[in-house]
């Protein structure tokens, strides 16, 4: 069954030449985010020494990671020209189409800028907490977790996004993260 594609996609040369993403490619695009959320939860668990507060904190952080992705799916993806298509590297547009109606694609940049701050603290909560935990009670295991978290979250995730997912996104030019640099003040 062929999906109906927006006129913006039909009239876009870059879009017509873009390949559809397989579930494996979508998973690869999302893997660094998944690892970040799991590692962040592990830092909170380990740093709080597996006490009840550790489980609550790690669980809350993990849920925040899931809700953060859902937030983007609900409040940003409906504005993407690739909503309900297989042209989106992360696959969120297909999930979004099952939850909310398509919105005005010309407002994608505005919505991205408005809603991306909702998930930014996912990068910093485990980092700051991990530093505090290391200062309070140093542990080599916690240090290793924190290093892995930082390498994944601050190097691999942005690199995968910019060089793999975003680089191949047909809407990259209208995105504040990848597009025209003079318009990119997020």
pLDDT band at 22 (very low <50, low <70, confident <90, very high): confident
**In this structure, is residue 59 part of a structural domain?**
yes
Residue 102: per-residue pLDDT: 95
Domain extent, residue 57, equals: 22-180
Q: Does pLDDT of 116 surpass 80?
A: yes
Q: Does pLDDT of 1 surpass 70?
A: no
Share above pLDDT 70 across residues of the chain, in percent, rounded to a whole number? 82
**In this structure, is residue 155 part of a structural domain?**
yes
pLDDT band at 180 (very low <50, low <70, confident <90, very high): low
Say how many domains are in the chain. 1
**In this structure, is residue 45 part of a structural domain?**
yes
Q: Among 29-33, 45-49, 69-73, 175-179, where is mean pLDDT lowest?
A: 175-179
* DSSP 8-state code for residue 161: I
Residues near 11 by beta carbon (within 8 Å), at least 6 away in sequence: none
Separation between Cα atoms, residue 46 and residue 124, nearest integer Å: 17
Residue 20: per-residue pLDDT: 82
**In this structure, is residue 149 part of a structural domain?**
yes
**In this structure, is residue 88 part of a structural domain?**
yes
Separation between Cα atoms, residue 144 and residue 147, nearest integer Å: 5
Residue 182: per-residue pLDDT: 45
**In this structure, is residue 92 part of a structural domain?**
yes
Residue 7: per-residue pLDDT: 52
Residues near 45 by beta carbon (within 8 Å), at least 6 away in sequence: 54, 55, 57, 58
Q: Does pLDDT of 3 surpass 70?
A: no
User: What average pLDDT does the segment 3-9 reach?
Assistant: 51
**In this structure, is residue 13 part of a structural domain?**
no
Q: Does pLDDT of 169 surpass 90?
A: no
CB 152 within 8 A of CB 35: yes
**In this structure, is residue 134 part of a structural domain?**
yes
Q: Among 69-73, 134-138, 178-182, where is mean pLDDT lowest?
A: 178-182
Residue 18: per-residue pLDDT: 60
């Amino acid at each position: 069954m062929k999906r109906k594609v927006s006129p913006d996609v039909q009239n876009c040369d870059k879009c017509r030449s873009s390949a559809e993403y397989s579930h494996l490619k979508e998973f690869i695009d999302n893997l660094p985010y998944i690892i970040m959320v799991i590692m962040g939860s592990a830092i909170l668990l380990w740093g709080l020494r597996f006490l009840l507060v550790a489980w609550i904190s790690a669980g809350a952080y993990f849920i925040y990671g899931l809700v953060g992705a859902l937030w983007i799916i609900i409040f940003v993806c409906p504005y993407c020209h690739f909503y309900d298509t297989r042209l989106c590297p992360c696959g969120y547009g297909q999930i979004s189409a099952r939850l909310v109606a398509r919105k005005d694609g010309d407002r994608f940049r505005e919505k991205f800028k408005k809603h991306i701050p909702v998930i930014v603290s996912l990068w910093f909560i485990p980092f700051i907490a991990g530093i505090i935990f290391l200062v309070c009670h140093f542990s080599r295991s916690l240090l290793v977790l924190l290093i892995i978290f930082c390498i994944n979250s601050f190097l691999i995730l942005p690199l995968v996004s910019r060089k793999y997912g975003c680089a191949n996104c047909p809407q990259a030019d209208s995105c504040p993260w990848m597009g025209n640099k003079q318009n990119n003040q997020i």
